[in-house]
Amino acid sequence: MPETTHERRPVITPVRVVIALCLTAPFVAMLWVGSYAKADPALAGIPFFYWYQMLWVVISTALTMLAYKLWQHDQQGRKAGEGK
């Protein structure tokens, strides 16, 4: 009986670390209230506190999309590696 050797890929890879950073960055930014709990500088009359949080809505969306695309790429690579 031929012995098949499956090369196991590591669970923690650089791509997965980037994915984790993309998903945790918005939480860290919003939980660090002292960094944005101020009124100045205002942007078009909107206090910093508000426009900073709204900016993170856009940044969070972009980071989540990036994490999703990286995850898809990682999973496709793993499936292709299994077929060998």
Smallest Cα–Cα separation from 51: which of 63, 38, 32, 34? 38
How many Å apart are CA 37 and CA 83, to the nearest integer?
A: 52
pLDDT of 71 reads 93
Top pLDDT among 24 and 4 is at 24
How many Å apart are CA 36 and CA 49, to the nearest integer?
A: 6
**Inter-helix orientation angle 48-82/14-31, to 10°:** 160
Summarize pLDDT for 60-82 with one digit per residue, the tens.
999 999 999 999 998 888 787 76
